[in-house]
A and B are shown apart, each in its own frame.
Chain A
Amino acid sequence: MKDTISVARAVSWRVLHTFFTNKSFLLPSVLFPLFFFTAFVGALSRISQVPGFDFPTGYTAFQFVFVLLQSAAFSGVFTGFGIARDFESGFMRRLMLAAPNRSGILLGYAVSSLARWLTVAAIVTVVALIARMNIDGNGVDLVGLYVLALLLNLAGTLWATGVAMRLRTQQAAPVMQMPVFLILFFAPVYVPLDLLKGWIHGVASVNPLTALLEAGRGFISGRPDLTLAAFAIAVGLILGFTLWAIRGLRRAEAAG
C-alpha cells in the first residue's frame, strides 16, 4: 500500500507539474469548456422560449450542468492523451521498470486527472456566476452535482487510461475521444429530453449519460430527479472501467 501511494504521488506530481507549467496542456483544458459554455449559452438562450421548455432556473444553468459534466469527462480523456504520450516518449517503460507497484501508476493518473478537473471546474463555475447563472438548489444539492461530475471524471479517466494502455500511441486519441464525445452529445444537450423528437429521443432515452445530466440539472434547480439512478450508473461505469484500465495495464506490462 505504501508503495502504491508513493508511486501514485510521484506520477500525479509529474502530471500536474507538466499541466500547470505548459500552456499547451493547460489552455485547451480550460478554454474548451468555457468556449462551449459561451457558445451554447450565447447563441441558444432563446431556445428556453420554445413551448414545453420547463427548466425554471434558466438556460445558463441548464447548459452549465452539461459543460461541467463534459469538462469532467474530457479531463479524463486528456489524461489518456498524456499516458499515450508517455508511452511514445519511452517514459512509461522506464516508469514501469522503476515502480515497485504498478497499480500506483493508475492511481497517480486518476488523482492528477481529478486535480486538473477541479481546477477547470472552479474556473467554469466562476465564469458561470459572473454570467449571472441562477442556482435554485441548496448546498447539499450542489455537493451532489459536483460529486456526480467527479465520478464521471474518474470514469472518463479510467476509460481513456484503458485505451492508452492497450494502444500505446497518440494516434489512439480519436478512439479515446470520439466515444466520449458521442455519448455526451447523444444526451439531451440543448433541450430537455421531452422536447427531443425522433431518433435522438430514442437514443437519449437509453443513453446512461442522460440520467447524469438530468440528475445534475435537478440538483442545480433544487428539484432532485433520477439521483439514485445517476449515482448507480456513475459507480457502475467506474467499476467497469477500473477493470478495463487494470487489464490494459497488464497488457502494457506484457507488451514490455
Chain B
Amino acid sequence: MTATALPQIATLGRRAVIRTARQPANVVFPLIFPMLLLAVNAGGLHSATKLPGFPTSSFLAFALAVPFVQGALLATINANVEFARDIQTGFLNRLALTPVRSLVLLFGQLGGLLTIALVQAVFYLVVGLAFGVRLESGIGGAALLLVLEALIALAFAAIGSWAALRTGSTEAVQGLFPVFFVFLFLSSMNMPRNLIQTDWFRWVATVNPVSYLIEAVRSLVIEGWNWEALGLGFAVAIGMSVIGFALAAHALWNRLERT
C-alpha cells in the first residue's frame, strides 16, 4: 500500500459515510429496527430462560448479540446498494479513469461501511448497557466485541460488494437482503443450539456460519472469555472476509477490464 493510497482510501471511505448519513432512512432503520426486534424478542421469549440448561436468566443479554450481526447486514445492504448505484450511474467508470488504483476503490468502499457498522455497534452496546445488561467479559470484552463487529461487517460488506460489482444492479443487491436474513433466522439467534429440539433445525443452525458469529458475540456478553466460541467466531468472520474480498477483488478486476 503506497503513501498515496491511504488518502485515497480515506476520501472514498468518507464519501461512503457521508452519502449514508445524508439519507436518514439508511441511518435510522439499521439503528432502530434491530433494537425493536431485540425488544420484542427479549419480552416475548423471556420465559425461555426457565428452560433447564438455558445459559442466562436474562433473555435481553442472550439476544443482545443478534443486533450486532443484524446491524452489520443492514449496513452492508444499504452501503452496497449505493455502490451498485455508482456502477449503474457510471461513477465507477469515471473513477477508474483517474490514477486511483482499483483495489483502493474496494478498500475505500469497505472502510466507509466499516465505520458505519462500528457506530451502530457502539449504539447497540450503549442501549444494552442502559437496559441493564452487564458484559461478563468487562471493558476488555467490549473492545474485543467491537473488533469482532468490524470483522463481521467486513465479511458481509465484502460479499455485498462482490454482488454489487458482479451484477452492477441495485435490485440485485437489495435481493440479498432476504438471503442474508434466511441465514440469520436459521441460526442459533433465539435459542442455544443444544436446546433446539427440532433435529433438522439444529443441524442447519450448526452448519450455518452465522450461528458462530452470534455465539462469539454472545459469549462476550453472557459468559466472559469463552475461547472456543471466540475462536470459532473470529475464524468464521476472517474466513468470510477473505473469501468475500477475493471474490469482490476478482469481480472488480473483471468489471474494470470490461470498461
Contact = CB atoms under 8 A, between A and B. Distances in A.
Contact of B40 (A42, A197, A200, A201): A200
Contacts of B51: 46-47, 49-50
Contact of B45 (A47, A49, A198): A47
Contacts of B91: none
B212 to A, nearest CB: 16
Given A39-B186, A46-B197, A191 B50 contact: no
Nearest to B178: A28
Interface residues of A, number: 36
B191 A174 contact: no
B227 interface: no
Interface string A43-55: 1111101111100
B133 interface: no
B44 A196 contact: yes
Contact of A186 (B29, B40, B186, B191): B40
B205 interface: yes
A254 interface: no
A80 interface: no
B43 A46 contact: no
Contacts of B204: 42
Contacts of B37: 185
Given A28-B178, A35-B182, A39-B186, A44 B47 contact: no
A95 to B, nearest CB: 24
Interface string B174-194: 010010001001101111000
A35 to B, nearest CB: 6
Interface in A166-181: 171, 174
B196 A182 contact: no
Interface in A146-198: 171, 174, 182, 185-186, 188-191, 195-198
B47 to A, nearest CB: 5
Nearest to A186: B40
A32 B51 CA distance: 29
Nearest to B193: A43
A229 interface: no
Prevailing SS type, chain A contact patch:
helix
Given A28-B178, A31-B178, A51-B50, A42 B200 contact: yes
Contact of A35 (B39, B41, B185): B185
Contact of B47 (A38, A42, A45, A195): A195
Contacts of A200: 39-40, 43-44, 46
Contacts of B96: none
Contact of A190 (B44, B186, B195): B44
Interface string A195-239: 111111100000000000000000000000000000000000000
A42 B196 contact: yes
Nearest to B37: A185
Contacts of B47: 47, 50, 52-53, 191, 195-197
Most-contacted residue by chain A among B43, B186, B197 (CB, 10 A): B43
B36 interface: yes
Interface in A30-69: 31-32, 35-36, 38-39, 41-47, 49-53
A4 B140 CA distance: 67
Contacts of B2: none
Nearest to A32: B178
9 contacts: A24-B175, A42-B186, A42-B196, A43-B189, A50-B48, A185-B37, A189-B44, A196-B44, A201-B43
Closest 8 CB pairs of A and B: A200-B43, A42-B201, A39-B185, A46-B197, A185-B40, A190-B44, A195-B47, A42-B198
Interface of B: 25, 29, 36-37, 39-41, 43-48, 50-51, 171, 175, 178, 182, 185-186, 188-191, 195-198, 200-201, 204-205
